[in-house]
Structure 1
């Protein structure tokens, strides 16, 4: 199971993901990097076929500048990823003798960042259909997306779109950690990317992620104290 999510805040965007890959054909799980740079001011993540995502990563690395500087970033992504999807679908063998569980090339892409000072949150589904989520301020992809959407809904009263992006880092990690605790197929280490127009896309180090996790613990403790005093 995979989850990649994007969260828009008052002055930036957070892109976050788990790092656990599940191979149902071989009954294996292993960690893998799911967040990748898209030039200096954006990043992207994907779920689904590793072969498809590898091809997308190579292409995005080579053409990041052209994508982010395009008049319509969504169409620029769509035009580049659609041929990759089509190629893999055409060469996919759905049934292999002796293999009961086959993987599928179904792949989702989620990209977020800034074109100048203009924010974007764009996803591309396995049919190469685009979705824009700048206004709603949240999107999640992967098999854990529904749980991420539900977790985000439970945090809406904290008004993350009105808060600094560092609050968004804490909220995103709290969502990922909650999914990790409730699903054996989502696991760490967790990846976080902080994106602002001024600083560009900053991929947090494991040590920095642990610092954010300490802030999550402080947040939970403050909530518990508030609840303890509710009927005092």
Structure 2
């Protein structure tokens, strides 16, 4: 199972991914890098056919400047992705004797970044269609995407679009760690990048562990608030102010 997700924050974008690759037809799973640089101010990840995604790496890397300078980021990414998809679709052998279901050649691409003063999230689906999620502020792809989308909805009241990318990092690490507990095929190490207009920073293991510590503190604060949820507020303060006001 794969999950790649991105969230828009007040001052940038955060994108993250797990690193677990599962080949169910062969009963294999192994770690692999799913998050890749896209110039200085963006990153992208993919899910699905590894052949498609591997072919995309050099293409998107070489075209990064043109993509980030384009007035339409989605069109520019689509222009690079479609020929790779068509090549694989045209040469795909669906029925290989003795191999069973090979899993197909479909792939999703999710890119996020900050360019020309805009924060953006773009998806290219297996049909080549462009999805923009700038206004939504959150999106996920991969077989773990439904659970990630649910987690994003549950966290929506924390208003990540109004908070800095530091908050976005903690939220993504919390979601990815939760998915790794509920889905054995989602696993680390995690890849996370926080992106501002001045550049993208890909977190190292120590920084991800620090984000985990903040996520644990976040959970502790939620637990503390829940413990006091049904306590009545202290009495007398409001009425005391009213009485003093009447004397004046």
TM-score, with structure 2 as normaliser: 0.91
Q: Distance in 2 between matches of 1:36 and 1:227?
A: 39
What does 1:45-60 align with in structure 2 at a 5 Å threshold? 45-60=45-60
Query: What's 2:221 paired with?
Result: 222
| Larger Rg over CA atoms | 2
**CA distance in structure 2 between the partners assigned to 1:153 and 1:115 by the alignment:** 26
Q: Which runs of 5+ in 2 are unaligned?
A: 232-248
The answer for the alignment partner of 1:212 in structure 2 is 211
1:101 shift after superposition = 3.1
1:181 equivalent to 2:181? Answer yes
Contact 2:8 2:120 in 1 (8 A): no
1:19-58 correspondence runs (5 A):
19-58=19-58
The CA distance in 2 between the partners of 1:122 and 1:113, in whole Å, is: 9
**Offset, 1:190:** 1.0
* Corresponding position of 2:230: 231
2:137 equivalent to 1:137: yes
Q: Partner of 1:195 in structure 2?
A: 195
Give 1:137 shift.
0.5
**2:93 is the counterpart of 1:93:** yes
| Equivalent residue, structure 1, for 2:246 | none
Does the CA contact (< 8 Å) of 1:24 and 1:101 recur in 2?
A: no
User: Which consecutive residues of structure 1, in runs of 5 or more, have no partner in the other structure?
Assistant: none
For residue 172 of structure 1, give the secondary structure of its aligned residue in structure 2. helix
Equivalent positions of 1:101-140 (< 5 A) are 101-140=101-140
Which of 155-164 and 33-42 deviates more?
A: 155-164
Structure 1 ranges of 4+ moved more than 3 A: none
Q: Secondary structure at the match of 1:6?
A: strand
Q: Following TM superposition, by how much is the alpha carbon of 1:167 offset from its aligned partner in structure 2, in angstroms? A: 0.5
State the alpha-carbon separation in 2 of the partners of residues 29 and 206 from structure 1. 21
Residue 71 in structure 1 maps to residue 47 in structure 2: no
Counterparts of 1:43 and 1:111, CA distance in 2? 6
* CA–CA distance in structure 2, aligned partners of residues 69 and 89 of structure 1: 30
The Cα offsets for residues 59-118 of structure 1, whole Å up to 9 and x where unpaired, read as: 011111111111211111111110100000111111111122312111000011011211
Residue of structure 1 equivalent to 2:238: none
Give how far 1:225 is off: 1.1
CA distance in 1, matches of 2:104, 2:200: 31
User: Root-mean-square deviation (CA), in Å?
Assistant: 0.9
In the alignment, the residues of structure 2 paired with residue 61 and residue 158 of structure 1 have an alpha-carbon distance, to the nearest angstrom, of 34
Aligned residue for 1:111, secondary structure, equals: strand
